[in-house]
Structure 1
Amino acid sequence: MKHLRVLFTLFLLTQMGAVFAQEEESEPADKSLKGQFEELERKSTNYRSGNGVAYEVMKLSSINELKANIFDTINTANKNIKDLSNTITANEAEIEDLNSKLQETTNKLNSVTEEKDSISFFGALISKGTYNFILWSIIFGLLILLLFFIYRFRNSNFLTQQAKSALSDLEEEYENHRRRALEREQKISRQLQDELNKQKK
């Protein structure tokens, strides 16, 4: 029975060892360079020389594999750097192209805005503010001329009315004077005729 217990214990221990070994193997290995160095260090063995200097003993195949992985990583990094450099160059060219298109669009927008804010006046392109100033100056000038001519017309009309009134008064006075002169002349003619008639008698 003792043997059976020992066998059973041995069986359990071997099974547990196998389970632990599987767990260690099933652990995902760190594939980064740091992880590979740590794995290499973990798998290395110690050696102490006769004079007491400690050495780490590593398999040459593991070192060669690590070396190949390092060169592969460096080549991949260089390729990534080259790809990124090409991408940066392409992006810079695209940015330059977009900047030139943006500048062209901005120039066109400024031109359209200037045309929109301007009016062609006698063939010259002037701003709306200047156009409004010129237009209102002309209107104001014409209004002043109109007021001046209205003033002159009223003044002339007043003078004309005065002249007509004076002429009417003068004509009336002339007519009165002519009538009186005619009456006087007739009176004098009668007197003369009477005197002539008296002398003939």
Structure 2
Amino acid sequence: MKISRILFLLAVLLTAGLGYSQESEGEETLSLESGPISSQFDYVAKKSGNYRADGVRYEVVKEANLYKLRGNVLDSIAAFNKKTSELNSTISEHETTITSLNKKLEETTTNLEAVTEEKDSMSFLGILVSKTTYNLILWTIIAGLFILLGTFIYKFRNSNILTQEAKQNLAELEVEYEDHRRRALEREQKISRKLQDELNKQKKAK
């Protein structure tokens, strides 16, 4: 009986707000065999009678209709629970799919970053460095080679100048040596002639 009263109160609450609107919308086929639960409550309420006793109004509901409505409510709840379970399973599958997609997206992002870094990098002595660093190292080496080349050219020119000066000094020294040797030879010849003259004079004097 408590269940009957609870269901009756639910029927009254549901039908109270819907009675006038349904009447204004026109006649509607009410049944316990089909339609939403709200219309089934309307059907039970419509088929119920009422009476007064001791100044209190009572609603009389057919027990078969009450049990039928109870079964329909339980079936609706079971269907709702089944649908909820199916939705939870679908949500779980979607969450698994989203997790898998997020993992793949993470891997793809990591691979893309690696490819981008490799694209923006150069290998120098087996070490992967950025293009900016690579260009800096390359131009530093080129600048160093130019400095070494300039130093070599400078030293070569200085050496060439020193060599030319040494050759010129040697040529001048050779000229001086030849001049000195010639003068020495002339002095030697003069002395030899004088000595010979003296010898000839001494021979004549004897």
User: TM (normalized to structure 1)?
Assistant: 0.74
Deviations 1:7-55 (A, max 9, x none): xxxxxxxxxxxxxxxx73xx35593323332343344333111x10011
The residue aligned with 2:51 is 47
Structure-2 separation of matches of 1:100 and 1:106 = 10
Hey, what's the Cα distance between the residues in 1 that align with 2:201 and 2:59? 190
Deviation at 1:56, TM superposition (A): 1.7
1:104 and 2:107 correspond: yes
Give the one of 168, 171, 178 matched to 1:168: 171
After TM superposition, the structure 1 stretch with the greater mean CA deviation from structure 2, 130-139 or 65-74, is: 130-139
Q: What's the CA shift string for 1:118-147, capped at 9, x where partnerless?
A: 444434444434333333332222222212
User: Does the alignment pair 1:90 with 2:93?
Assistant: yes
- Are 2:122 and 2:134, in contact at CA under 8 Å, matched by a contact in 1? yes
- Distance in 1 between residues matched to 2:42 and 2:189, nearest whole Å: 162
Q: Look up the match of 1:7.
A: none
Q: How far is 1:184 from its partner?
A: 2.5
Alignment of 1:46-195 (within 5 A): 46-49=50-53, 51-195=54-198
1:5 paired residue number: none
SS of the aligned residue for 2:58 comes to strand
Q: Output the CA distance in 2 between the equivalents of 1:178 and 1:87.
A: 121
Q: Unaligned stretches of 5+ in structure 2?
A: 1-25
Is the CA contact (8 Å cut-off) linking 2:48 and 2:60 kept in structure 1? yes
For residues 42-86 of structure 1, what are the alpha-carbon distances to aligned partners after superposition, in whole Å with 9 as ceiling and x for unaligned?
44333111x100112222233223222211211111011000011
- Aligned amino acid, residue 148 of structure 1: T
- Residue 37 in structure 1 maps to residue 31 in structure 2: no
**Distance in 1 between the 2:102 and 2:128 partners?**
29
Q: Matched residue of 1:110: which SS?
A: helix
Q: Is the 8 A contact 2:30 2:42 kept in 1?
A: no
Task: Extract unaligned runs of 5+ from structure 1.
Answer: 1-22
- The CA distance in 2 between the partners of 1:187 and 1:29, in whole Å, is 167
Q: How many residues align?
A: 176
SS at match of 1:186: helix
Query: Larger RCO: Structure 1 or Structure 2 (Cα < 8 Å, ≥ 6 residues apart)?
Result: 2
1:1-20 correspondence to structure 2 within 5 Å: none
Residue 200 of structure 1 pairs with residue 196 of structure 2: no
Partner secondary structure for residue 103 of structure 1: helix
Kindly provide the amino acid, as one letter, of the partner of residue 63 in structure 1: L
1:91 Cα deviation after fit: 1.2
Amino acid at match of 2:76: T
The CA distance in 2 between the partners of 1:172 and 1:199, in whole Å, is 40
- 1:141-181 per-residue CA deviation (whole Å, 9 max, x = no partner) reads 22222122111111111111111111111111222222222
What is the rounded CA distance, in whole Å, between the counterparts of 1:124 and 1:117 in structure 2? Answer: 14
